[in-house]
A and B are shown apart, each in its own frame.
Chain A
């Protein structure tokens, strides 16, 4: 693998790690949700990166050398994961919006420490 490939891979792994650290250490719920999204973006890029392992050509029927094609299976599969990740983040944000009516700062400690009463 080329030097550039290694750098890109390292950057992707750093993205995943940043997402994970954000999940653990951020105080605000909104930032935690965003870190989850960062982490899933990292994983999606890792899929795309591995798909382009052997080459980055579009896999179409033709006379070219078949070895340099990007792997279509991984790319097809990750589309589904992108949609799922996006819809989950959307759902979580909607419910965070409802929670924000009661706890405008969205601090996790504040929400968890509050007595159980209904709005």
Chain B
């Protein structure tokens, strides 16, 4: 039954490949099945462990954390498939989308290190094909850069896996705790590259900003999470690992924010905000999945809208104004990430605030204000009225917005103190943006650090830091 989550979409994609036309809707049914199954697991509170074959078999775990991620994957896949159906895409896109859905589900379900390596690489290959679909030099270079970097990260992961096997005689996540520190550092570094966190994740803005809107929505909404869920699971096993990943997380939160202050391009702004948001997920492993869900839905909606806007440059966009059917779901999604009450982002941010303790706690408020500042250009975007019939591209974002609202109403807290606090944070962010930070976007940061060799170098530097970090305590 669980295996349908993986093989259903793959089979559907294969059917489309064989029969070519008229079958674009079949994959959508498999996404709906994923949605129903994850809702069932979330509602019943059960977890389903499963092992294929007996010893050294493939371990699969469908628990609450995985259910949040699979629900996210299903919703974003449905939204993207619906969004792209008007655009005259080649049916190849829908096939790859189905494959990606299956592979990502497999990443969320797999519960041993080697299996995780295989499915992450599969996802990388599918994502590579999606990014490079335009076949122009720019698309191909972007795709090549993506697969190159994540392959380097995964090579480190593979080395770490070998060391874990040497020390514990198996590939289970529990083995990582007893493994030598170098192995831990390598596994964490590999996953951080995939998750786009802090130094190893600085490849992300360029890759996500230059892909097509629908592909960026998938990358930022879903694919970054394949690195995050294993990290969350590892964090649960040992406080040492938790501490190291939290340090990287705090670094990522602020690095993403600082980069985002200077971005003039809307899609790059959103991609930098992704860096800071995925790091939030890692701060509190217990509520990480719900935060990742809230962020993924909102970010997918933002990217889908950003692709249909007349202009990507924020300064020119102020003059041209965004049509209202697109601007409304964008504002809703941005408010959710910034933590406005009634939306799921508010509930998630609140829970992260409760779950963290110690030295991280005082940093949460500045980070939240920073998040509000960087999303202020989207929230305060000038709008012009336009007919809703003009183009159908508002439908998917509105669907995702509805999800944000409904889940927000369901999980939100209704105490006045908390509301007041988050509204104050939001207002502070908007005011700071309009008085101080809106001038920053005219400053251009030097772009040299985004070159391939520098990004590979940063992965190595981060690995060295991690190794030092695990040896010192």
Give me the interface of A with B, judged by CB distance under 8 Å: 16, 20, 23-25, 29, 32-33, 36, 39-40, 43, 46-47, 50, 73-74, 77, 80-81, 84, 87-88, 91-92, 95-96, 98-99, 102-103, 108-109, 111-112, 116-119
Chain B 113-138, CB-CB to A under 8 Å as 1, else 0, gives: 01001100110110011001001111
Query: Which B residue's beta carbon lies closest to that of A88?
Result: B151
Known: A36-B152, A50-B162. A99 touches B452 (CB 8 A): no
State the Cβ distance, A39 to closest chain B Cβ, in Å.
Answer: 6
Minimum-distance CB pairs A-B, first 7: A118-B136, A95-B140, A84-B121, A119-B137, A95-B144, A102-B137, A73-B56
Kindly list chain B residues whose C-beta atoms are within 8 Å of the C-beta of A103.
137
Whether B152 pairs with A84 at a CB distance below 8 angstroms is no
Whether B453 pairs with A74 at a CB distance below 8 angstroms is no
Whether A24 pairs with B141 at a CB distance below 8 angstroms is no
Whether B118 pairs with A99 at a CB distance below 8 angstroms is no
Task: Provide the bound-state CA to CA distance between A47 and B143, in Å.
Answer: 29
Kindly list chain A residues whose C-beta atoms are within 8 Å of the C-beta of B124.
88
Whether B155 pairs with A99 at a CB distance below 8 angstroms is no
Kindly list chain A residues whose C-beta atoms are within 8 Å of the C-beta of B244.
none
Kindly list chain A residues whose C-beta atoms are within 8 Å of the C-beta of B456.
23-24
Known: A88-B121, A88-B151, A112-B451. A81 touches B158 (CB 8 A): yes
Whether A92 pairs with B162 at a CB distance below 8 angstroms is no
Whether B140 pairs with A98 at a CB distance below 8 angstroms is yes
Whether B125 pairs with A88 at a CB distance below 8 angstroms is yes
State the Cβ distance, A43 to closest chain B Cβ, in Å.
Answer: 6
Task: Provide the bound-state CA to CA distance between A20 and B152, in Å.
Answer: 9
Kindly list chain B residues whose C-beta atoms are within 8 Å of the C-beta of A33.
148
Those of B180-211 within 8 Å (CB) of chain A: none
Most chain B beta carbons < 10 A, residue from A33, A39, A95: A95
Kindly list chain A residues whose C-beta atoms are within 8 Å of the C-beta of B162.
43, 46-47, 50, 74
With A16-B159, A23-B456 given, name 17 new contacts (CB 8 A).
A29-B144, A32-B452, A36-B151, A43-B158, A43-B159, A46-B159, A50-B162, A50-B166, A81-B158, A88-B125, A91-B129, A96-B144, A98-B140, A99-B137, A99-B141, A108-B453, A118-B136
Most chain A beta carbons < 10 A, residue from B114, B124, B140: B140
Task: Provide the bound-state CA to CA distance between A25 and B27, in Å.
Answer: 44
Whether B451 pairs with A119 at a CB distance below 8 angstroms is no
Query: Which B residue's beta carbon lies closest to that of A93?
Result: B144
Give me the interface of B with A, judged by CB distance under 8 Å: 56, 114, 117-118, 121-122, 124-125, 128-129, 132, 135-138, 140-141, 143-144, 147-148, 151-152, 155, 158-159, 162, 165-166, 171, 451-453, 456-457, 460
Query: Which A residue's beta carbon lies closest to that of B143?
Result: A95
Provide 25 A-B residue pairs closer than 8 Å at the C-beta atoms, listed in order of the A residue: A16-B159, A24-B460, A33-B148, A36-B148, A36-B152, A39-B152, A40-B155, A46-B159, A50-B166, A73-B56, A74-B165, A77-B171, A80-B114, A88-B124, A88-B125, A95-B132, A95-B140, A95-B143, A99-B137, A99-B141, A103-B137, A108-B452, A112-B141, A112-B451, A118-B138
State the Cβ distance, B454 to closest chain A Cβ, in Å.
Answer: 10
A24 is contacted by which of B135, B144, B147, B457 (Cβ under 8 Å)? B457
State the Cβ distance, B344 to closest chain A Cβ, in Å.
Answer: 36
Kindly list chain B residues whose C-beta atoms are within 8 Å of the C-beta of A91.
125, 128-129, 147
Kindly list chain A residues whose C-beta atoms are within 8 Å of the C-beta of B136.
118-119
State the Cβ distance, B55 to closest chain A Cβ, in Å.
Answer: 9
Whether B135 pairs with A98 at a CB distance below 8 angstroms is yes
Task: Provide the bound-state CA to CA distance between A36 and B152, in Å.
Answer: 7
Query: Which A residue's beta carbon lies closest to that of B135?
Result: A98
Query: Which A residue's beta carbon lies closest to that of B114?
Result: A77
Task: Provide the bound-state CA to CA distance between A100 and B196, in Å.
Answer: 29
State the Cβ distance, A14 to closest chain B Cβ, in Å.
Answer: 15
State the Cβ distance, B269 to closest chain A Cβ, in Å.
Answer: 18
Task: Provide the bound-state CA to CA distance between A103 and B144, in Å.
Answer: 14
State the Cβ distance, B239 to closest chain A Cβ, in Å.
Answer: 29
B125 is contacted by which of A87, A111, A119 (Cβ under 8 Å)? A87
Known: A96-B144, A108-B452, A118-B137. A80 touches B158 (CB 8 A): no
Kindly list chain B residues whose C-beta atoms are within 8 Å of the C-beta of A24.
453, 456-457, 460
